[in-house]
Amino acid sequence: GAGVSQSPRYKVAKRGQDVALRCDPISGHVSLFWYQQALGQGPEFLTYFQNEAQLDKSGLPSDRFFAERPEGSVSTLKIQRTQQEDSAVYLCASSWDRGYEQYFGPGTRLTVT
Protein backbone atom coordinates (compact mmCIF):
# COMPACT_ATOMS: atom_id res chain seq x y z
CA GLY A 1 0.00 0.00 0.00
CA ALA A 2 0.95 3.66 -0.17
CA GLY A 3 3.39 4.90 2.40
CA VAL A 4 3.77 8.33 3.96
CA SER A 5 4.15 11.03 1.34
CA GLN A 6 5.44 14.56 1.74
CA SER A 7 5.40 17.56 -0.52
CA PRO A 8 7.22 19.40 -1.77
CA ARG A 9 10.34 17.26 -1.71
CA TYR A 10 12.53 20.34 -2.00
CA LYS A 11 11.80 23.92 -1.07
CA VAL A 12 14.00 26.96 -1.39
CA ALA A 13 12.82 30.04 0.48
CA LYS A 14 14.26 33.48 0.88
CA ARG A 15 14.81 34.53 4.47
CA GLY A 16 11.65 36.03 5.82
CA GLN A 17 9.28 34.06 3.62
CA ASP A 18 6.59 31.76 4.98
CA VAL A 19 6.57 28.10 3.93
CA ALA A 20 4.05 25.27 4.26
CA LEU A 21 5.07 21.63 4.20
CA ARG A 22 2.51 18.90 3.66
CA CYS A 23 2.34 15.35 5.01
CA ASP A 24 -0.04 12.62 3.85
CA PRO A 25 0.13 9.82 6.43
CA ILE A 26 -0.75 6.19 5.88
CA SER A 27 -4.52 5.84 5.77
CA GLY A 28 -5.94 4.89 9.14
CA HIS A 29 -2.90 5.89 11.17
CA VAL A 30 -3.99 7.75 14.26
CA SER A 31 -0.63 9.20 15.23
CA LEU A 32 1.37 11.68 13.22
CA PHE A 33 4.76 13.12 14.06
CA TRP A 34 6.95 15.88 12.66
CA TYR A 35 10.73 15.83 12.99
CA GLN A 36 13.50 18.20 11.97
CA GLN A 37 16.75 16.66 10.74
CA ALA A 38 19.81 18.85 10.38
CA LEU A 39 22.60 17.71 8.08
CA GLY A 40 24.56 14.86 9.64
CA GLN A 41 22.26 14.62 12.63
CA GLY A 42 19.45 12.38 13.77
CA PRO A 43 15.84 13.51 13.55
CA GLU A 44 14.69 15.84 16.33
CA PHE A 45 11.09 15.62 17.52
CA LEU A 46 8.94 18.65 16.79
CA THR A 47 5.31 17.79 17.43
CA TYR A 48 2.77 14.97 17.71
CA PHE A 49 -0.88 14.60 16.74
CA GLN A 50 -3.39 12.00 17.76
CA ASN A 51 -6.10 12.30 15.15
CA GLU A 52 -6.74 16.06 14.90
CA ALA A 53 -5.52 16.87 18.40
CA GLN A 54 -2.01 18.25 18.79
CA LEU A 55 -1.03 16.55 22.03
CA ASP A 56 2.62 17.51 22.16
CA LYS A 57 4.35 20.48 20.60
CA SER A 58 7.25 20.65 23.00
CA GLY A 59 9.82 20.26 20.23
CA LEU A 60 8.76 23.24 18.14
CA PRO A 61 11.78 25.56 18.27
CA SER A 62 9.91 28.85 18.21
CA ASP A 63 6.49 30.39 17.78
CA ARG A 64 7.30 30.76 14.09
CA PHE A 65 6.59 27.05 13.75
CA PHE A 66 2.99 25.94 13.58
CA ALA A 67 1.45 22.57 12.73
CA GLU A 68 -2.08 21.48 12.12
CA ARG A 69 -4.05 18.37 11.22
CA PRO A 70 -7.62 19.68 11.02
CA GLU A 71 -9.37 16.50 9.84
CA GLY A 72 -7.10 13.99 11.48
CA SER A 73 -5.43 12.95 8.27
CA VAL A 74 -3.26 15.33 6.22
CA SER A 75 -0.99 17.58 8.26
CA THR A 76 0.75 20.83 7.42
CA LEU A 77 3.83 22.24 9.09
CA LYS A 78 4.09 25.98 8.60
CA ILE A 79 7.15 28.06 9.24
CA GLN A 80 6.71 31.81 9.31
CA ARG A 81 9.44 34.34 8.58
CA THR A 82 11.97 31.63 7.76
CA GLN A 83 15.52 32.00 9.02
CA GLN A 84 18.70 30.36 7.77
CA GLU A 85 18.82 28.11 10.81
CA ASP A 86 15.50 26.61 9.68
CA SER A 87 17.32 24.92 6.80
CA ALA A 88 16.93 21.19 7.37
CA VAL A 89 15.02 18.13 6.24
CA TYR A 90 11.54 18.00 7.76
CA LEU A 91 10.33 14.45 8.24
CA CYS A 92 6.80 13.29 8.86
CA ALA A 93 5.98 9.90 10.35
CA SER A 94 2.74 8.12 11.13
CA SER A 95 1.79 5.10 13.20
CA TRP A 96 -1.27 3.19 14.40
CA ASP A 97 -0.74 4.64 17.83
CA ARG A 98 1.95 6.51 19.72
CA GLY A 99 3.66 3.42 21.07
CA TYR A 100 3.91 1.63 17.76
CA GLU A 101 6.40 1.59 14.93
CA GLN A 102 6.55 4.84 13.02
CA TYR A 103 6.62 4.92 9.24
CA PHE A 104 8.55 7.85 7.81
CA GLY A 105 8.01 9.84 4.68
CA PRO A 106 10.91 10.86 2.40
CA GLY A 107 11.11 14.32 3.96
CA THR A 108 11.09 17.86 2.63
CA ARG A 109 14.48 19.49 2.28
CA LEU A 110 14.10 23.18 3.13
CA THR A 111 16.88 25.57 2.20
CA VAL A 112 16.60 29.15 3.39
CA THR A 113 18.80 31.58 1.50
Partner 1 sequence: GESVGLHLPTLSVQEGDNSIINCAYSNSASDYFIWYKQESGKGPQFIIDIRSNMDKRQGQRVTVLLNKTVKHLSLQIAATQPGDSAVYFCAEKVNDMRFGAGTRLTVKP
Residues that bind partner 1 (CB under 8 A): 4, 33, 35, 40-45, 48, 56, 59, 91, 93, 99, 101-107
Indicate the residue among 43 and 67 with the shorter CB distance to partner 1: 43
Q: Considering beta carbons, is residue 15 or 38 the nearer one to partner 1?
A: 38
Residues 6+ apart with CB under 8 A from 62: none
Q: Is the peptide bond before 43 cis (omega within 30 degrees of 0)?
A: no
- Closest CB to partner 1 among residues 19, 23: 23
